[in-house]
A and B are shown apart, each in its own frame.
Chain A
Amino acid sequence: MKTPDPDDMQEDLESGPLKQTGFTSKLQREIEQAIDRKERAKPRIKPYLVIAGIGAVTAIMLLYPWNAIHTRSEALTAMEAPIPIEAQSASFVAPAAINTALLIGLRTDHESTDSSRAVNPIRFSTYRTMLIAPVRGKLQKTSEGDGILMPYKQNFWKIDSLVARTKTDEIHYLSAHLADQPVKAETFADDPNEKLNHVETLRFVGNQYLSIDESEEAWVGSTPYQAERTWVRTLPQLKEGHTMHLYNKPADKNHVSLTDLYDSSINGVLSNMRLSLRSASAAPAAASAASTPAADQVGELAGESWAIERAPGRWVGKVAVTSGADAGTPERYDLRDLPRDLPDKVVNHDELCCSWGDIKANWPNASDALTSPMNDMIVIFEGGKLKFYSYGQAPNSAPELTLDLQQGEQLVMAQWATDHYVQEWIDKVDRYLPGNANHD
């Protein structure tokens, strides 16, 4: 066979692939109309939000490769569009290697068995972070370490759960610091007349927001006290400090409210939730007039206290219905579903390749799933294991990578890197989680 001439096909392929023109004036009009529709659908935005938005977009543009941008609307269009046979076959002949890394944060809950404790056994949590990334074409766990390592703006931050113990107190607190700086233990004033358990727990870690539970149990003199609270905070708010002795501080301003997140449009949603809450409370009361609850016993649903929780395949918002702390009555909260999707700024990528029903149809024992933004990796939580499949693998084939989960271990963070950020993350995470040891 002769050696091919470099330019032998340029003339042959100079025209387009088809006899007819593909890009028609009709298609051009449709594109222009699509843009007009999208612009009309844009909500009116206040000037200060525009400035904040530009800042956020700039940050995102700096943090992520431009070509990895995917919007919900594009995904929906693609998912809902009928798939022609040729496209399907093309998709099967073009399996791309995984070019995505997953930084995954997990939480394990424990109960202290220290029988010498003055108050009840304390429930606390430990955390671990793993980076799963392709190395020379093979998917593997490149790093693992204790605590939560999260990307924040241009840096990585570490959140550690530290313990401070005194003669009477045990405080499990969250400490945030730049990942390349050492952790600094904090000191807490000890009151000999008080026995205190204070625990801070991470429910969710995004790329700027964190969902944190606080629980406190104490004997103040001879009076027992219990309180449970839940807040969504930004990383700087977490860094600002800890609210201790909740019985002295009925409200913590150091948090992000639902109104901060959604603006005043959320007020109608919260009003409806309050109405249905009162109706639900009134119904059993009608049956038993003797136990009619007073209005203030129904609980407060202000949208200040809320949480981000993992449901199968997605993160969901939960609004707290809080009960006030009267003398001797524990201060608690109940979580109700927030009937709104969480915005992208809270969960920057929370989109599954397919419905949860589709996942269950193929992995009947799956309890959760994640899909990469590039759709080149799917992670299935099944039978106490994390199973990683690459694009091009059938559900019934062996996963490309399987990792063991600890008993009761729960997802608190899933952050994705694509393109050249993959190698950058491999290098940096290896530096920040140098232990590489399995958590036990």
Chain B
Amino acid sequence: METTGVHVFEYLKYVSETTDQKAILRNLMEAYGNDVWNYAFSICRNMDLADDITQDAFLKVYRNLTTFRGEASVKTWLLTITRNTAYDYLRKAFWRKVTLVGFIQSTGTSQSAENEAMEKLYASDIWKKVISLPPKYREILILHAHYQLSTKEMAAVLNISEGTVKSRLHHARLKVMKERESLENS
């Protein structure tokens, strides 16, 4: 999955104020733009919001290029930034929502129509199932199966212990299998 290996971005460890940081960011976007966008989308499940989160995440990356010292792989670093940015957006959206209009209410047909249109855009049925999982299971499956991160890397991105990663991954897989089986039986 990581076509541009960590070694390619080894020089990130030595970025200074005088380095052409825009060129580095361009390289990062070309190599990891899709990874960042897909992860943002996996968390927020909305294409427009995924665009905004991706933009903000790369702006943060640009501002903090000189701070990367290789404690994590470039991809893990970018995914962590993306995740923090995405959850920040969602929290702010939540506060705005509770303070302005109270708890979420079903919007009936318009939401169904929107969901239906969205469903047609998914790459496969399995993606549809994974995206519909609760966030904690959705994220762990995607980090494992799509991004193929190690247990240690997943623990770092999600800020949980490696033990929790293993147990959560197990339960996430069980959930998807259960859904698959019930679909096959029906």
Number of B interface residues in the complex (CB < 8 A): 84
Interface 1/0 per residue, A120-144 and B, CB below 8 Å: 0000000000000000000000000
A2: contacting residue among B52, B100, B176, B177, CB under 8 A: B177
Instruction: Tell me the complex Cα distance, A61–B84, Å.
Output: 17
Q: Are A88 and B97 in contact (CB under 8 A)?
A: yes
A23-B33, A32-B22 as given contacts; A1 in contact with B178, CB under 8 Å: yes
The verdict on B173 contacting chain A, using a C-beta distance below 8 Å, is yes
A23-B33, A94-B90, A371-B95 as given contacts; A84 in contact with B49, CB under 8 Å: yes
A-contacting residues, B61-89, CB 8 Å:
62, 64, 67, 80-81, 84-85, 87-89
A13-B142, A28-B29, A94-B87 as given contacts; A362 in contact with B130, CB under 8 Å: no
Instruction: Tell me the complex Cα distance, A374–B96, Å.
Output: 14
The verdict on B3 contacting chain A, using a C-beta distance below 8 Å, is no
Residues of chain A contacted by B104 (CB below 8 angstroms):
88-89, 92
Q: Are B114 and A375 in contact (CB under 8 A)?
A: no
A17-B42, A84-B48, A90-B135 as given contacts; A35 in contact with B22, CB under 8 Å: yes
Q: Are B88 and A66 in contact (CB under 8 A)?
A: no
A28-B29, A34-B59, A86-B45 as given contacts; A20 in contact with B121, CB under 8 Å: yes
Residues of chain A contacted by B6 (CB below 8 angstroms):
none
**Interface footprint category on A:** 35 or more
Residue of A nearest to B97 (CB): A88
Residues of chain A contacted by B135 (CB below 8 angstroms):
90, 93-94
Residues of A within 8 A of B (CB): 1-2, 4, 6-10, 12-23, 27-28, 30-32, 34-35, 38, 61, 66-70, 74-75, 77-79, 81, 83-94, 96, 353-354, 358-359, 361-362, 371, 374-376, 378, 391-392, 394-395, 419
11 A-B pairs with CB atoms under 8 Å apart are A18-B127, A30-B55, A31-B25, A31-B59, A66-B67, A79-B92, A84-B46, A86-B44, A92-B94, A359-B99, A375-B95
Residues of B within 8 A of A (CB): 1, 22, 25-26, 29-30, 33-34, 36-38, 41-52, 54-56, 58-60, 62, 64, 67, 80-81, 84-85, 87-100, 102-104, 107, 110-111, 114-115, 118, 121-124, 126-127, 130-131, 134-136, 141-142, 144-146, 148, 159, 170, 173-174, 176-178, 181
The 9 closest A-B pairs by CB, nearest first: A353-B95, A23-B33, A4-B173, A375-B91, A22-B37, A23-B37, A358-B99, A13-B145, A91-B90
